[in-house]
A and B are shown apart, each in its own frame.
Chain A
Amino acid sequence: MEQLLLLLIFLPLLGALVTALSGNAAKHVALVSAIVSLGFALAMVCNFTPDASTQFVVNYSWIHDLGINFHAGVDGISMITILLTNVLIPLIILASYQHSYKSSNAFFALILFMQSGLLIVFTALDAFLFYIGWEAALIPIYFICAVWGGKDRIKVNMKFFVYTIAGSLFMLLGLIYLYLQNPAHNFDIQAFYNLNLDATQQGWIFWAFFIAFAIKMPVFPFHTWQPNTYTEAPAAGTMLLAGIMLKMGIYGVIRWLLPIVPSGVQDWGHVAIILSVIGIVYASIIAFTQKDAKRLVAYSSIAHVGLISAGIFALNTQGMQGAMIQMLSHGINVVGLFFVLDIVSSRLKTNRISELGGIAKQAPVLAITALIIVLGTVALPGTNGFIGEFLLLIGVYQYNIWLAVFAGLTIIFGAVYMFRMYQNIMLGKTNDLTITFTDVKGSERIVLYIICALIIVLGVYPKPILQLSEASVQHLIEQVTQKLTSVN
C-alpha cells in the first residue's frame, strides 16, 4: 500500500518530465498524467480507513546526519487536500486547453512539477520534507505566473515571490529551532508534537509559523501580494494559486501549528482569529467596488480564506471540519470562477466589469454554470459552499459570538459583490462587445459541468468527505486540548 503514496508523489514528477519532452502533445500528456494521478488518489481514498491513524506511511532515511527522513503518510486531513489537489489539477489542465500558450510543454510540465511539490506538502510527516515541498511548489508557480502572465507580471510576481519566501524563511527559522529543541535531533512530526516548550517559546514559534502560513493564505494584513498576482497571472496560474496553493497555508496551520504550539495558539490564537475576521469584512467591502472581475474574485478569496482561518483557530470540531470541507469547496468554486472569467477574457480580451454585460443571452450554458458556481461561492444551502461556511461559522460562533457576527457578514457581503459581478457580466443588455460572445463548448463545457456537478454533489451529500476527515480532526483537537490541559 505504501507504494501508492510514493506513486502519488512521484508520478507527477515523471509526468512533468515526459510532458516537458513531448512538444506539442504536451497538454494531452499532462492531462493523462493528471488523470492517472487522480485515479491513484481515488484508489487511495478507497483503501483509506477513516480513522485517526496515519496510513500509507513511507519512511526512508534521507539525510541521516541532519535527522531528515523521507517520512510521509496520509490521514484524513491530508486525504482531503490530496483529493483537492488531484481533482483540481486535471481540471486546471483541461481548463488550459482553450489557450495556446507558447512553449506549452514547459507550462504543463511546471504544473505537474508543482503538483508533486503540493503533494509533498500535504503528506509530509517530516518538517524538513514539508519545507522542501513548500518551496518546491513555489518555484513552478512563480515561473508560470511570470512567464505567461499579464503585462505587469514581472514586478507583481517578484513581490509575490519575495513576500512568500519571506514567510517561509521565518518558518524555516522556527523549524530549525524546533529541531534543536528536539532531543532526538530530527524533524519528525511526532517528536515535534511531543516537545514541551514553554509559553514564550511557543509564542515565538507561533508567530514564525503563522506569518508564513498567513502570507500564503493570505490573511489580512499579509494579503497585498494576492490581488495583483491573481490579476496578472495566467488563468491556470490563478487557479493553482487560489485553488490549491493557498490551502498549503491552511493545511500548515492545521498540521504544523496547532498541535506543535498549543499554548502559543492559546495565547495568540485570538489575534489570528481577529485578523482573519477583519480580513473577511475588509476584503468583502473592498470587493464591492472592484472594477476588474478577477481582482474582485481575488478579494473575495481573501474573505473566504479569512473565514477558514478563523474557523481553524476556533479550535473545535465544527470549525475544523468546516475548514476541511471548505478547503475543498473553495478550491472547486474559485477555480470555477476564475475559469469563467478566463473564458470571458479570452474571448473579449477584458475582465473589466463595466465593459461587459448581457453574456447570458449569448451564452446560456455559461451563464447557468457560472450562476451555480456563484451560488456555491455565496454559500447557498445545497451547494458545497454552505456546508463549509455553516460549519465554520458555527465553529467561530462557539469561540466568540461577536466574531461570528462579523464573520457572518460574509454571507451578506458575499451575496452583494458576487451577484453584482454576475449581474454586470452576465445579465443586462448585450453590448457591442458582448454581442460577439459564443457559448462554451468542448473542453470548456466539460470543465464547467464537472465543477457544477461537484458543487451540487458536495452540497447535497457531503458526508463522505466529512467522514474522511472527522476522526483525524477529532484526534487533532483532542491532542491539542490534552496538551493544553496537561500544561495548565
Chain B
Amino acid sequence: MIIDLVWLVPLIPLIGFIINGLGRNTLSKSLIGFIGSSVIFVSFAISVGIFLALGADANKSHEIFLFDWINAGALHIPVSFLVDPLSAIMLLIVTGVGFLIHIYSIGYMHSDEGFGKFFSYLNLFIFFMLLLVLGSNYIVMFIGWEGVGLCSYLLIGFWYTNSSYASAAKKAFVMNRIGDLGFLLGVFFIFTTFGSVEFSKIFPQAANMLPGNTTIALIALLLFIGACGKSAQLPLFTWLPDAMAGPTPVSALIHAATMVTAGIYMIARSNLIFDLAPLIQHVIAIVGLATAIVAAIIALTQTDIKKVLAYSTVSQLGYMFLGLGVGAYNGAFFHVITHAFFKALLFLCAGSVIHALHHEQDMRHMGGLRKKLPVTFITMLIGTIAIAGLPPFSGFFSKDEILAHVYLHDKVMWGIAVFGAFLTAFYMFRMLFLTFYGKYRGTHHAEEKIHESPKSMTIPLIVLAVLSAVGGIIGVPEALGGNHWLSHWLSPVIKHTGESPDHATEYILMAVSVVGVLISIAIAYGKYIKQNHIPASDEAKRSVLANLSYHKFYVDEIYDALIRKPLDAISVFFYKIVDNKIVDGIVNSLGWGTTEASKGLRLIQSGNVGFYIFMMVVGIISLLLYTYLSL
C-alpha cells in the first residue's frame, strides 16, 4: 500500500540533497536543477498517491514505524511517521509548493555561483519539513522543527560574505531556539504527564482529561512559545523580516509558505491539548491578534518590497494564531493552505520583479512595471486580491472563517481583526500600486534592461496564481453553499471545532469585511495612483505614528537595549570581574598567600645562630610548659 511507502517522501529529497551536496561543484547547473526539482516532484507524486489512498481508506490514521531512535528507561522515541488527513494535506502543500519554487529557482538562481549549494539546501529543507509534518511524535517533529530552522539559517545566510546577512541568519536561528526551548520543555512536561511523547499515546489520554488542568495549561503554553518562535509571533517576530536577506525563493518557500506555518501545524496537531487549556487559548488569540495588527501597521510604511511581504506574512500568521486561539483550527489551517498559495505567489512575483530589476528591492525605485512584466503583474494582482480577501479568491474564505469564529468569541477582537484586514488590503495594494503603476523611478539605464522573467519562473507563478484564485474552493462555507470539504477532511484529527455563526450573521460579517477592504483599496488607489504619492526617503521626518511604523516600533532596538546589551555587559562583567577577579582571584590568592607566607617565613631563617638557639629555647620552653600543664 502506498501509505506504507511514506518514508520515501522525505527520503527522496534527502537523496537529492546528498547528490546535489556532493556534486555541487562538479555537476552542471541544469543537472542540479533537474535533480533538485525532480526529487521534489517524485515526493509530490507519492504524496498525491498517499492523499488519494488515505481518502479512499476508512482508517484515517496510519503510523509507519521505521526504527527505534532513543530508548532510555521509560522514554521510547521511535522514528515513525504518522499519515493522517492533516499530515497528508501538509505533504501536498510542502511538496507541491516546494516543487513549484524549485522550478522557479532554476531560473531565479541561474547566474548564482552557489547554484548547487542552493538546491541542496532547498532539498534538505524539504526533507526536514516533511519530517516535521510526518513525525508521529513530538521528537521527530522536533527534528524537523529544528532542521528547517537550520535550513532557514543556511539559506538566509546564503550570501554569507555579506556579514549583515549572516547576522540575520544567526538572529533567525537564535530566535527560533528561544521558541524551541519552550517546545522542548513542553515535550518534557508531556513526557512526565503522559509517559510518552507519541501522539498516538498522548491524545487518547488527553481526550479524557478535563479542561483547566494546570499541567495541561503549562504544556499548551510552552508549546505555544515554541510555535511563537517558529511562526514569528510577538515578541519573537523580528527575525522574519530580517530573514528576507535570503534569496527570494527561500522567502517564498520557507518564510511564507511552509516553515513559518509549522507553529500552526503543531498547534493544530495538538488541538486536543489546547482545547483543554482555555486560558492559553485566550492568550494565543490575544498574541495572534496583536501580532496581526502590529505587523500590519509596520507593513504600512515599509518601502522594501520583500519587507512588506514579510510583515504581511507575520500579520497573516497572527490571523492564523487568532484562529487557533478562538478554536477555529479548521479556519486557521485553511488559512495556512491558502496563505501558502498566495504568499508564495506574492514572494515569487516580488522575486520576479527583483530579478528583472537586478536586485533592486526598494519600491521607491520601481513603478510602472505593469507593461514590462505582464505575467508578473497579473499573477501578483491575483495574489494581492487573494490576500486582501476579496471573494471569490482563496484568501476571502479562509480569512472570513477565522473572523467569523472570532466574532462569536469576542466582538472587540473581531473589530480589531477586521480593521487589521483592512490594513492588509491597504498595504498590499499600496505595494502593488507603487510597483506596477505610475512611472518607473529607477535610472534610465536600468529601465532598458528590464525584461520579463524566463519560463521557468513564470510558469510557477501562473500555477500558483490559479491556486490562489481557486484554492478557496476546499473550504467554501455552508453559508455560501459549500460544504467545507476541508473541515470534513480534517475531522478525524480536529474533533472539536468552534461553532459557526448562523448564516445571516455570516453574511453580514462578510459584507462588512468586503466593503471595508474595498474602501481600503480605494484609499490606497487615491493615495498612490491619484496623488502619485511616493514614500519618503529614510531621513525624512514622519509623524510619530508613521515613524513608529517605519522603524518597526523599534522592537529590534528595544531587544538590543533590554537583552543583548545587558547580556553582553553581564558577560564582560562575569568574565572580567567574577571569573578573573573573584573565582580565580580566590584560587590565585591561595597561591599568592602561600608565596607571601614563604617570603615571610623564610626570614625566620635569619642566619644568626643566637636567634636560632633562642627559637629553639622558645620551643623547648613551650614543650616543657605542656609537660607541666599535662601532669
Contacts and interface: CB of A to CB of B under 8 A. Distances in A.
Assess A/B contact in the complex (Cβ within 8 A): yes
Interface string A280-292: 0010011111100
Contacts of A426: 160
Interface string B137-156: 00100110111001001000
A463 B150 contact: no
Contacts of A466: 70-72
Interface string A174-210: 0000000000000000000000000000000000000
Given A358-B161, A381-B143, A427-B166, A394 B191 contact: yes
Interface stretch (A27-35, A232-240, A405-413): A405-413
A416 B174 contact: yes
A427 B184 contact: no
A282 B72 CA distance: 29
A316 interface: yes
B505 interface: no
Contacts of A316: 73
Interface string A304-316: 0000000000001
A interface, how many residues as a size bin?
A: 35 or more
B608 interface: no
Interface string A353-385: 000011011000000000000010000111000
A318 B73 contact: yes
B570 interface: yes
B67 A412 contact: no
A463 B69 contact: yes
B528 interface: no
Interface string A432-455: 000000000000000000000000
A322 to B, nearest CB: 7
Contacts of B575: 286, 289-290
B68 interface: yes
A391 interface: yes
Contacts of A288: 567-568, 571
Interface string B164-206: 0011011001100110110011001001100000000000000
Contact of B178 (A321, A412, A467, A474): A412
B74 interface: yes
Contact of A381 (B68, B147, B153, B571): B147
Contacts of A357: 163
A382 B579 contact: no
Given A317-B72, A393-B188, A427 B160 contact: yes
A70 B584 CA distance: 38
A220 B579 CA distance: 10
Contacts of B163: 357, 423, 427-429
A161 B157 CA distance: 43
A212 B166 CA distance: 42
A302 B466 CA distance: 56
Main secondary structure of the interface of B (DSSP, over half): helix
A428 to B, nearest CB: 4
B184 A361 contact: no
A224 B587 contact: yes
Main secondary structure of the interface of A (DSSP, over half): helix
Contacts of A159: 587-588, 591
Contact of B574 (A285, A317, A386, A415): A285
B interface, how many residues as a size bin?
A: 35 or more
A386 B572 CA distance: 29
A420 B170 contact: yes
Nearest to A291: B575
A462 B181 contact: no
Contacts of B572: 289
Nearest to A227: B579
A322 B75 CA distance: 12
Contacts of A462: 69-70
Interface in A79-95: none
A170 interface: no
Contacts of B72: 317-318, 321-322, 391, 466, 470
A153 to B, nearest CB: 17
Contacts of A398: 188, 192
Given A318-B72, A322-B72, A429 B161 contact: yes
A122 interface: no
Interface in A250-292: 282, 285-290
Contacts of B161: 358, 361, 427-430
A364 to B, nearest CB: 8
B583 interface: yes
A390 B174 contact: no
A312 to B, nearest CB: 13
A391 B70 contact: yes
A397 interface: yes
Nearest to B584: A224
Most buried by A among B73, B145, B146, B584: B73
B568 A289 contact: yes
B157 A318 contact: no
Given A159-B588, A285-B571, 6 more contacts: A220-B583, A286-B571, A321-B72, A381-B143, A423-B169, A466-B71
Interface of A: 159, 162-163, 220-221, 223-225, 282, 285-290, 316-318, 321-322, 357-358, 360-361, 375, 380-382, 386-387, 390-391, 393-394, 397-398, 404-405, 408-409, 411-412, 415-416, 419-420, 423, 426-430, 461-463, 466-467, 470, 474
- Counting from the closest, the 7 A-B pairs by CB-CB distance are A317-B73, A224-B584, A428-B163, A381-B143, A321-B72, A427-B160, A288-B571
27 contacts: A220-B583, A224-B584, A286-B571, A288-B568, A289-B572, A318-B72, A358-B161, A360-B160, A380-B146, A381-B143, A382-B147, A390-B184, A394-B75, A397-B192, A398-B192, A408-B181, A411-B181, A415-B177, A419-B173, A419-B174, A420-B170, A426-B160, A428-B162, A428-B166, A461-B69, A463-B71, A467-B71
